[in-house]
Structure 1
Amino acid sequence: MPELDLGSTLEPDDPTVEAALAAGDIEVLGRIPWSSNATFVVRVCRLGQRLTAIYKPERGERPLWDFPAGLWRRERAAKLLDLQLGWTFVPPTVVRHDAPLGVGTVQYFIPSDVNVTAFDLVTQPRWATDLARLAAFDIVANNTDRKAGHCLLGADDRLYAIDHGLCFHTEEKVRTVLWDFAGEPIDAELRSLLGAWSTESIDPEFADLLDGDEVSAMVERAHRLAEAGILPSDPTGRRYPWPLV
């Protein structure tokens, strides 16, 4: 059986990627068997462009007691937060209502070495700044599921972050493998940015994806982080996802 070509004709930073993901024809290539929800590898084609992407339909979600159906909204909101912070950790992610299995997100596929996780990267000083920023991202997003395998070292030698369906809850629920950075100072530029946020100043699309209390809680978390000036710690020692990878 020939190896499946997962290459894309556009790089993730190409300004036309989002438009291609949002309007291209979608072909399902296969299902990712180890995902807790139905997750598919797809090919998206538009105007001669070919992209490999990950499709997460609402229809394939397992019901959760603490998060409502429609985790795709949180996947897209995570990309908005990434953009709001001026970072590029989250791959291009769009909402598709016309996808083969119904509404869900389509996210650019990042080729990476699956054997390299956050546990490997945290031992390398060159990734300290990016990982600390990602730790701050997770605090603002209230990420309940930052597994080590959700941190990808892309083939382009950049850090990426995926799987954000369990974010933005109003209750404090952070569970992450990035507690190594607790107590690290937050740079002045980020503190100023977070401290200036308001529900009126952030991207209005947040209001289409999250309810009002969730948006307000996100802004409040940003303010608390800015005021503290350092990354928080886990006094319980138990706020880790499972499995860790």
Structure 2
Amino acid sequence: MDPAASAALAADPGRALALLRTGELRIHGRLTAASNAAFYCTVTGADGTAAVCVYKPVRGERPLWDFPDGTLAGREVAAYEVSAATGWGLVPPTVLRDGPYGEGMCQIWIETGDDGADGDPGEGGGDALLALQDVEEPEPGWCAIGRAEVGEGRTALLVHADDPRLRRLAVLDAVLNNADRKGGHLLPAVDGRLYGIDHGVTFAVPGKLRTLLWGWAGEPLPDEAVAVLTGLRKELDGELGERLAPLLTPAELEALRARVEGLLRSGAHPLPPTDRHAVPWPPI
């Protein structure tokens, strides 16, 4: 699919959601790098409009010890709903629908530019979102994640860009309680938008935040984020809460509200946990 067409559709959620919900879903292959069953598909509407998408059937989910069986697809849709409510559009349009292997999540495919966000961090430069720097402190325009082994007993500083798109995603991940924000889950589209994908392990009741985006830990939330969180708190008691109710348990919904309230009360980005791993493995 043309990257520009993919980006245009992802940025038009009304059109994208209608196509995902009602279009004919055709599987072209399996994404073998995924930990759960995930398929590369096209979805075609009655008017001939077609798009590439990802389909993850519930029956293809591997059991996890800390998440109820058969709930990952619903969590992916819930993550989209929360993202859409923020107005930031950080998660590609996503629906829950029937498909060739039963009910599953279906999400618009994002074609990315070559900026180093979804592969090896490399040496930075250009529009890269992640990099390795042979320094003690991050270079201007970068935020430190931590030291990383680079071979032969050497380490380098793993950093992410001091990018407002990433900062928004860091706030969203804190709201979602995202347990798996890897570098490969950051997809910069050709139109300049940034998307995060793979939100199956979100919305747990206990704290599970594991992410690469710790560069703003402890810093005050931007005014924009405070305004968005304030609106989100209100929407969770209204239509957003109603849309999430079939996707999450009452306890998970209450924990979601508590996380939003906690962020507003602290007014700061959360700090990394000290009682568990703060960064997912593998990080990229």
What TM-score comes out, normalization by structure 2 length? 0.78
Determine the structure 2 residue equivalent to 1:234: 272
The code of the aligned residue for 1:150 comes to: H
Q: Does the aligned pair in 2 maintain the 1:181–1:231 contact within 8 Å? A: yes
Cα distance, 1:30–1:6 mapped onto 2, change above 3 Å? farther
User: Is structure 2 residue 201 aligned with structure 1 residue 200?
Assistant: no
Residues 1:150 and 2:185 aligned together: yes
Instruction: Render the CA deviation track for 1:163-219: whole Å, top value 9, x for unaligned.
Output: 000000000011001011212321234324424615423511110100011011001
After superposition, the Cα gap between the structure-2 partners of 1:104 and 1:136, relative to the gap in structure 1 and judged at 3 Å, is: same
For residue 16 of structure 1, report the CA deviation from its aligned partner: 1.2
Gaps of 5+ in 1: none
Structure 1 range deviating more: 49-58 or 180-189: 180-189
Between Structure 1 and Structure 2, the one with more strand by share is 2
State whether residues 122 and 131 of structure 1, in contact with CA within 8 Å, keep that contact through their aligned partners in structure 2: no
Letter in 1 for 2:264: A
* Counterpart for residue 163 of structure 2: 128
The answer to whether residue 252 in structure 2 is matched with residue 221 in structure 1 is: no
Question: Equivalent residue of 1:11, what SS?
Answer: helix
Aligned to 1:11: 9
2:125 aligns with none
- Counterpart of 1:116? 116
Q: Which residue identity is paired with 2:238?
A: S
Question: Which moves more between the two structures, 151-160 or 45-54?
Answer: 151-160
Do the aligned partners of 1:191 and 1:227 also contact (CA within 8 Å) in 2? no
Larger radius of gyration: 2
Check conservation: 1:116, 1:153, Cα contact below 8 A.
no
Q: Distance in 1 between matches of 2:63 and 2:26?
A: 26
The residue aligned with 1:73 is: 74
Secondary structure of the corresponding residue to residue 179 of structure 1: coil
1:209 counterpart SS class: coil
Match of 2:27 in 1: 28
Q: Residue 63 and residue 115 in structure 1: after superposition, are their counterparts in 2 closer, same or farther (change >3 A)?
A: farther
Shift of residue 156 of structure 1?
2.2
Q: Contact between 2:76 and 2:198, CA under 8 Å: does it hold in 1?
A: yes
Please give the alpha-carbon distance, in whole angstroms, between the structure 1 residues aligned to 2:228 and 2:44.
37
Q: Secondary structure at the match of 2:106?
A: strand
Q: Which amino acid is 1:241 matched to?
A: P
Alpha-carbon deviation of 1:127?
5.8
CA distance in 2, matches of 1:67, 1:122: 29
Q: CA deviation at 1:50?
A: 0.5
The alpha carbon displacement at 1:6 in A equals 6.6
1:184 matches 2:184: no
RMSD: 2.1
Name the SS for the 2:246 alignment partner: helix
Q: What secondary structure, in the 3-state scheme, does the structure 2 residue paired with 1:160 have?
A: strand
Aligned residue number for residue 137 of structure 1: 172
Question: Structure 1 185/202 Cα, relative in aligned 2: closer, same or farther at 3 Å?
Answer: farther
| Alpha-carbon distance in 1 for matches of 2:88, 2:64 | 30
Please state how far the C-alpha of 1:114 moved relative to its aligned partner: 6.8
CA shift, 1:148, in A, is 0.8
Contact 1:42–1:55 under 8 Å retained in 2: yes
Q: Which letter does structure 2 place at the counterpart of 1:144? A: A
Q: Which letter does structure 2 place at the counterpart of 1:60?
A: G
